[in-house]
Amino acid sequence: MTDQIKKPDPTVVVIFGAKGDLTTRKLAPALYNLLLDKWMPEKFAIIGVSHHDLSHEQFLQLLRDGVDGNSRRGKTTDEEWNEFAGYFTYQRADFTKPDTYETLAAHMADLETEWGTRANHLFYLSVSPQFIEPIAQNLGNLAIAKDRDRDRIVVEKPFGRDLATATALNKLLTGIFQESQIYRIDHYLGKETVQNILAFRFANVIFEPIWNRNYIDFVQITVAETVGVEHRGNYYDKSGAMRDMVQNHLLQLLCMVAMEPPTSFQADEIRNRKVDVLHAMRKIRHEDVSQSAVRGQYGSGWLKGEQVPGYREEEGVNPESNTETFAAVKFHLDNWRWQGVPFYVRTGKRMHEKHSSITIQFRPVPHQSFPEESTENMQPNRLIINIQPEMGIKVRFQAKRPGQLMLLNPVEMVFNYEDAYRVEAPEAYETLLLDAMQGDATLFMRADQVEAAWALVMPIIETWESKPSLHFPNYAADTWGPEAAEALLARDGHTWSVQSPTKRKAAAVK
Ligand code: BG6
């Protein structure tokens, strides 16, 4: 295995926002695991930049706590930690001052003199949106970010808060850097199970011929979380489920399911096919939003034996907030492959279980040759791609029950990652950081993708903002969201495939 590893060239990783949650919970554990898995470059350094007054030791302790609490390997050992910590330095700095960048450039130049080579530079912006501009402008003034082949800038979400701000941000960044230098993160694309959708669809011959309107009845995508807004009330209350999840993660999943086969695995080829999907999606008109989309907000309730507050009681949230914590949308694609096939997507916080999956529901058989009494339990074929926490693929088909009677029953054929591979899958951020260090942008968002995705959700966001809900909160913790989300599908004669009838509770709250 090790001899297949092509490590990235020497790299300096600069993390702006080095004390933040993302750095401690995601980036540091990802870099740590990449080092232990021998994927980090032979020569590399990580410079953490933030405005907090921290000593080098305090900074390292924060990182270690983050890695201990969040690494898939569990707690660090002293030996491994000390090796990892040796690659870090901390720079306390003001993101808006030019001398911050001069100090940074001098530090990077020293490292490169020591290594005897011009390294790749990866600037990771894990900062509040207002700092993106000063950081990008200041970097753009210096040679450290000018090499179009070696210098890259990684931008975290939120990428704008609507179409206008996303377009302005793209304009700003593409005015300073080449598009090929800009890596916009959607961490769902780094998940193993999400990447596997491409392998499943395009490395097998048996699925593609039936992957169209002739055989598929509808598609469902569910991304459900049990957590509430946690300590992110301030951010979330200005965002909501449509901006936070649907505009990015859910639409990306939809693109993976609906895209045409790429002619190669080149970043731009894959991204072009995904943009085609976004362009084929029917824009929902403002006057049709109530028919095509459902919003929800969680009230207080009980979750796994614990009483949990309602959204409006969460820290940082306006007690009269109109922000949705649940969203469900019915989309259509206007192209030959998908005409007439609804794509239902839903996501929510405080739902019954943490569960993300894609369900492909096939049409019923065209002619029923079995007698009625044989087929009482007959159900159409269904393919479920489980993204998390369960990771795998299931196919539902009919089988004859053993016995003298011809009785048909649905059964499942299951592929499960853990059983099949017995190796631990890397975390999404490990994959994405490694790709960014290697200059592979396949799993990152291009400017036009981001804008096309915003354009699709804008009518829904605008309609919801202009008409506050009179029914919030409208679902309790530990449910699958508001009743209206069931009705959205019931109108088409369908139901959500992921639900647990025994646990369902009335959606009405307080
Ligand atoms: C983030 C959202 O992008 O994704 C969060 O901002 C959400 O609100 C998170 O909780 C979910 O990610 P994951 O990987 O836990 O499914």
Tell me: the pLDDT tens digits for 47-67? 999 999 999 999 999 999 999
Bond prior to 371 in cis (omega within 30° of 0): no
* 108-132 residue pLDDT tens: 999 999 999 999 999 999 999 999 9
Q: Is 225 in the pocket of ligand 1 (CB under 6 A)?
A: yes
C-alpha to C-alpha distance for 25 and 226, rounded to whole angstroms: 19
Q: Give the contacts of 59 (CB within 8 A, at least 6 positions apart).
A: 18, 19, 48, 88, 90
Active centre residues (catalytic): 249
- Token look-up 């894990």 returns 126
Residue nearest to atom 4 of ligand 1 (CA): 245
Measured in Å, residue 51 CA sits from the centre of ligand 1 at: 26
Q: What is the pLDDT of residue 58?
A: 96
Q: What is the pLDDT of residue 505?
A: 42
Measured in Å, residue 318 CA sits from the centre of ligand 1 at: 21
How many CB atoms within 10 Å of residue 130? Answer: 9
C-alpha to C-alpha distance for 320 and 472, rounded to whole angstroms: 9
DSSP E strands, 372-480: 382-388, 392-400, 408-416
Q: Is 21 in the pocket of ligand 1 (CB under 6 A)?
A: no
Q: What is the pLDDT of residue 5?
A: 66
Low-confidence spans in the chain with pLDDT less than 50:
1-3, 501-510
Residue 139 contacts residue 153 (beta carbons within 8 Å)? yes
Q: Which of 155, 161, 194, 225 to mutate to test the pocket of ligand 1 (most atoms within 8 A of CB)?
A: 225
Among candidate residues 458, 462, 451, the one with its CA nearest the CA of residue 168: 451
Measured in Å, residue 172 CA sits from the centre of ligand 1 at: 26
Bond prior to 158 in cis (omega within 30° of 0): yes
CA of 143: how far to CAs of 150, 250, 309, in Å?
A: 11, 38, 51
Q: Which two tokens stand for residue 50?
A: 């933030």
pTM of the model as a whole: 0.94
Residue nearest to atom 6 of ligand 1 (CA): 244
Measured in Å, residue 187 CA sits from the centre of ligand 1 at: 8
- Token look-up 């369960």 returns 390
Sheet order of strands, 408-416 included: 293-296, 326-331, 343-348, 216-224, 355-362, 382-388, 392-400, 408-416
Q: What is the pLDDT of residue 500?
A: 55
